[in-house]
Amino acid sequence: MTKVIPAAARSWVNVPQGSDFPIQNLPFGIYRPAGYAPRLASAIGDYVIDLLALSDLGLLDGLDVPREVLAQPVLNDFIALGKARTGALRLRLAELLDAAADNSAARKQSATFLWPRAEAELLMPLKVGDYTDFYSSREHATNVGIMFRGADNALMPNWLHLPVGYHGRSSSIVVSGTPIRRPLGQMMPPGGQAPVFGPSKRLDFELEMAFVVGRPTTLGETIPIATAEEYIFGMMLFNDWSARDIQAWEYQPLGPFLGKNFGSTVSPWVVTLEALEPFRTTGPVQDPSPLPYLQNSAETSTFDIQLAVAIQPEGGQPATVSRSNFRYLYWSMAQQLAHHTVNGCNVNVGDLMASGTISGPTPDSFGSMLELSWRGERPISLADGSSRSFLEDGDTVIISGWCERDGLKIGFGTAEGKVMGQQ
């Protein structure tokens, strides 16, 4: 049975034109209804679907999905059931919501399990045990290399041979809507002889996406690239906030530390690979050819996911500052996961693997303020006439992502965070 919900399917629940959440999406997340404990949810149009309530109504009978799993405050145990069972639940949701199906029981009891999303408290959907951040955009790596090493040495010698990455801090990954405090740290002033301490003056966003590990491995086990996607449950939007001045002083020789670990923002919904299947596409040509363990026989190893970043000043209107696409990434998710485990590193359900900044080939597609303002030398303009080289206190960064083709749109919602100053 295919897990792709037909493009022609329509729901009896009103789905506004252009919604991120048609019946073909049905992502998974966690919400807390007023006065009740957190539980698993999905989304349709402007509504949250309470999966625990559906179970209590008997509408999920026969799926082998225990009620106690749906009552968890994170998705980990649900994801660990495996794609066969989670996919079957998603298909059951589609049947219950399909305008052309015989689902009178669901329609009559819809007030029991449909909750207006505007009134729902969406929570961090995962318990993230480990988090890895890759550096997989050739355009981003090249831009940063030009800034700091010159055009002749923009890419490091290893970059075209392996997906570069580092292990980040999982405890500071937060759900959309959580404020981000401007970090404190050491910085070397331009032309200075000694570092100074204080709040970062070069706070930045990074436009990224992350995939969620859906199957565990044991220590010493590797994940072959041919089966890597079997270990990926779904994808989320990801903003890896960065303090560029702190990072510049600290990162040699061991890489990012305080300039990165103060916060990363994720969207509240995990969109399954099954929902993204209609939007498969080809990635960039890889030259030189990777080593055999990184060679993917699939021509469509990535997805056409449109991405946008807006900055909204305090009390102002949001202004789009970047438009990019997931398909620009040089290294695919399958390659990232195969490389991550080729040495026997074990992974666990709920681990997050972030893409690294996703920049495109044109200046309006750059995925960070570092690139958009070219290290602060070319400030960008916002809707209210103000300009930014880096983020200011009170700014809200809004990342959105969606796939769209032949009238079908599958979206991720948004990953939003407001910059708060030091008290």
| Annotated catalytic residue, options 140, 167, 339, 340 | 140
Catalytic residue at 161? Answer: no
Q: In sequence order, what are the beta bridge partners of 243?
A: 203
Q: In what order do the strands lie in the sheet with 29-32?
A: 114-116, 47-50, 39-44, 29-32, 121-123
* Contact predicate 48/254, CB 8 Å: no
Secondary structure (H, E, C), the chain: CCCCCCCCCCECCCCCCCCCCCCCCCCEEEEECCCCCCEEEEEECCEEEEHHHHHHCCCCCCCCCCHHHHCCCCCHHHHCCCHHHHHHHHHHHHHHHECCCCCHHHHHCHHHHEEEHHHCEEECCCCCCCEEEECCCHHHHHHHHHHHHCHHHCCCCCCCCCCCEEECCCCCEEECCCCEECCEEEECCCCCCCCEEEECCCEECEEEEEEEECCCCCCCCCCCHHHHHHHEEEEEEEECCEEHHHHHHHCCCCCCCCCCCCCEEECCCEEEHHHHHHHEECCCCCCCCCCHHHCCCCCCCEECCEEEEEEECCCCCCEEEEEEEHHHCCCCHHHHHHHHHCCCCCCCCCCEEECCCCCCCCHHHCCEHHHHCCCCCCCEECCCCCEECCCCCCCEEEEEEEEEECCEEEEEEEEEEEEECCC
* Contact predicate 136/330, CB 8 Å: yes
* Amino acid sitting at position 150: G
Measured CA to CA in angstroms, residue 205 lies from 202, 241, 252 at distances of: 10, 5, 21
Please confirm whether the linkage preceding 125 is cis (ω < 30° from 0). Answer: no
Among 362, 296, 370, 347, residue whose Cα is nearest residue 165: 347
Among 277, 158, 159, 259, residue whose Cα is nearest residue 206: 259
Indicate which residues carry an active-site annotation.
140
